[in-house]
Amino acid sequence: MKNNLYIILAAMALIMGTPSCTDYLDEDNKAGATADLAYSTVSGIQGLVSSCYSFSRAWYGKEAGLGLSEMGTDLFYYGYDNKQKSLNSYNISSVSLDGNESDNACLDQYWEAFYCAVDVCNTALKYVPLNTLIGEKVQNQYMGEAYFMRAFYYLHMVNIWGAIPYNSEPPTTIVTDPTRVPEEVVYGNILSDLDKSIAAFQTANYMIKTDGRANYWASRALKARTLLYAASWLGKNSITSNSDYSGKDLYALAKAEAEAVIGSGVASFYDNYADTWSMNNEDVTKNKEAIWGVTYSSDISTNVNCIPYRYRTEASGKQMSYNGLITRTGYTRGGSAMLLMFVSMWNNGATDLGGNGKETFVRVLGATTSTITNIKTGAVVDVAATYSPYGRGFTRYLPSVYLWKLLDKYRATDQRTNATLLEAYTIAPGLEKSSKLYPNIQDTAIYYCPLDGNSTAGKAKQAWAKGRYRIQFLNNGDIPVFTSSDPATALPTEAAKAKSDVYGDARYNSYKISGWCSYPGIKKFLDNVYNSTYPTNDISYRDAIVMRLAEMYLIKAEAELGTGNSSNALATLNELRAKRAITGKDNSLSGTVDINTILDERAIELCGEQQRWFDLKRTKTLVSRVKAYNAQGAANIKDIHYYRPIPQAQLDAVTNLSTIVGTGFWQNAGY
């Protein structure tokens, strides 16, 4: 019995003894880091500051960012395989489509991405001053960068959605009743951030653009843009909440900033406008014209170019991915998608030129697909260098009739027409006459002609082209790109001819030869240098130039117009145009400058560079210009579209939802 007693006692001791290890239920996350610890190190704080930039890759160089910043404007129509058709045709709604990649404006995901981006900037602004290891100079430089990036993201947000919740610090609790801060206040905050950035950069004496970071001149350039946006959208004396700007003429300030940047020598013009877009000059730190841009590493085979994961998680806690329109290739490899956006279906839609196993065009995938056999001579022709720059026919966007005609107008005197429009596809040298249906084919394979195919000149062109190459006219003719030459009503054609009028055969009986699949492209963003390592061209390491010198002239001109000095504006525009003239040709403008002159010039200079929608918005010409120049959007566009809808996911999650504009958390009117 005594033994038994001992056993019981031992058992009781076991039971009672276990909880004495009081830390048994405590957690210690060994493979994850906490902010306080990570950001007190040199590499940790450096990584945090560089991460402030990473989110900009979600917008610049990406399909959905391009769609929201450049499309649904006067410059572009959507093509056959566009993934944001309802955005472009203004059937846009607040519905959060999340991962949908077939037709998604992606506003819900950008709403998220921008708030995360701002949060990383806020985290940097909190931890940089606390880091004692980096020294005061670097501290100032980092603060300058973080303020710049926060201003940069908020500028996008306020332009997209108008009044928005404004976070100035990392959150400590979840705010379910957010306040929409008026646009004027947001602008005031952005200007204040830029001023702090400029001051910090000045203290750090950080005025260079050698490494892709924001710097003193980048901040001043962005300030010029911000002032112009505020002046044109809110009014020239609109800022009241920021005392530094209250009552001041924002146009005058914008002009001063632009002039300072122009005069600084931080950027200069190439003699040849096309050099700005050469893949050899893609690096923003080396590109002479660039002031600041979003960088992509030339390593496009790993994840170093990928954007961050979402803060939103799956039910399992796994961080979610932004959708493919934003990441382009997910999270294993990243890069810019711009090279894909403006390319017509050149290789898939060219059965008239080859086909039946006797191709003239192929997409270069690798060694096995980089040669074509000439059907006449039997010679094996290496085509990679010629075809690789055309990339892949994503058929997302095509230039509007307005843009095509505008560029065509100055063809003879201005470099920018030829450097911008991709009006002809050439076949690889060695494939001459290697086309059954065009027995006299030489180098030109497809030519998009900005003429009316039924005009006399058009008919003459058609007669010349017969048997030599495929010719597609702006309108009319055998296979028109557009249904009309009237910019207000023209739509890309969506089907081709069962029987060709010119040839009497069925060579054009394919939707792939219709206007929304086959059209003149935009050259600026093509990978024009063949790279045998990555011949597929599904992604590019081209940096996205966000601000460049020409824009400073355009800001200056518009600011001059805004301050009532139209003749100075003309002089400034002509200063820029002189740089873009074909040697020995005069491309200068004359007459009275108005906002349309500025917008035309911006179209010629900046088309495709992710600014147009904001330009039309802030100048309040969006509705009139879409009605006049974009028949795909004309039917639906109305004043509500000056703001994008707040995503439904946000509305579903707030507790202060209201239906009255200006109280609680309201949806933008009309959505």
Query: Between residue 568 and residue 587, which ones bind other proteins under the rule CB under 8 A?
Result: none
463 is a contact residue toward other proteins (CB under 8 A): no
Q: Which is nearer to other proteins, 300 or 554 (CB)?
A: 300
> Tokens representing 26?
């405590």
Interaction between residue 523 and other proteins (CB under 8 A): no
Cα(86)–Cα(67) distance, integer angstroms:
11
Q: Among residues 113 and 616, whose Cβ is nearest to other proteins? A: 113
Q: Judged by CB under 8 A, does residue 429 bind other proteins?
A: no
Nearer to other proteins, 173 or 456 (CB): 173
Quote the least distance from Cβ 106 to other proteins, whole Å.
13
Looking at residues 366 to 395 of the shown chain, list those that interact with other proteins (rule: CB under 8 A).
366, 368-369
Give the pairing type, strands 444-452 and 470-475.
parallel
Nearer to other proteins, 210 or 456 (CB): 210
Q: How far is the CB of 356 from other proteins (least distance, A)?
A: 5
> How many other CB atoms are found less than 10 A from the CB of residue 135?
12
Q: Is 248 in the site for other proteins (CB under 8 A)?
A: no
What angle, 0 to 180 degrees and rounded to 10, lies between the N-to-C axes of helices 42-54 and 135-161?
20
Structure tokens at 553: 């002239």
How many positions of this chain bind other proteins (CB under 8 A)? Answer: 125
**Nearer residue to other proteins within complex by CB, 120 or 603:** 120
Instruction: Give 228 or 490: the residue with its C-beta nearer to other proteins.
Output: 490
DSSP 114: H
Query: 3-state SS of 244-305?
Result: CCCCCCHHHHHHHHHHHHHHHCCCCCCCCHHHHHCHHHCCCCCCCCEEEEECCCCCCCCHHH
Is-contact 346 390, C-beta < 8 A?
yes
Q: Under the criterion CB under 8 A, does residue 494 sit at the interface with other proteins?
A: yes
Q: Which of residues 108-127 bind other proteins (CB under 8 A)?
A: 108, 111-112, 115-116, 119-120, 123
Query: Measured from the CB atom, is 107 or 228 closer to other proteins?
Result: 107
Residues 352-371 close enough to bind other proteins by CB under 8 A: 355-357, 362-363, 365-366, 368-369
Among 68, 198, 254, 649, interactor with other proteins by CB under 8 A = 649
What gap in Å lies between CA 641 and CA 662, rounded to an integer? 18
Q: Which long-range contacts (CB under 8 A, 24 or more apart) does 263-267 make?
A: 264/217, 264/220, 266/207, 266/209, 266/217, 266/291, 267/291, 267/548, 267/549
Query: Counting contacts by CB under 8 A, is residue 176 touching other proteins?
Result: yes
Subset of 531-560 contacting other proteins (CB under 8 A): 534, 536, 538
562 is written with which tokens? 């805004």
Stretch touching other proteins by CB under 8 A, among 169-177, 250-258, 271-279, 449-457: 169-177
Helix axes 549-562, 216-234, angle to 10 degrees: 40
Query: Which residues in the 274-333 window bind other proteins by CB under 8 A?
Result: 295-297, 299, 301-306, 308-317, 319, 329, 332-333
Q: Which amino acid is at 20?
A: S
Q: Binding to other proteins (CB under 8 A): which residues in 33-52?
A: 33-35, 38, 44, 46-51
423 binds other proteins (CB under 8 A): no
Stretch that binds other proteins, among 205-213, 404-412, 564-572, 582-590 (CB under 8 A): 205-213
Phi-psi region of 175 (alpha: psi -120 to 50; beta: other; left: phi over 0): beta
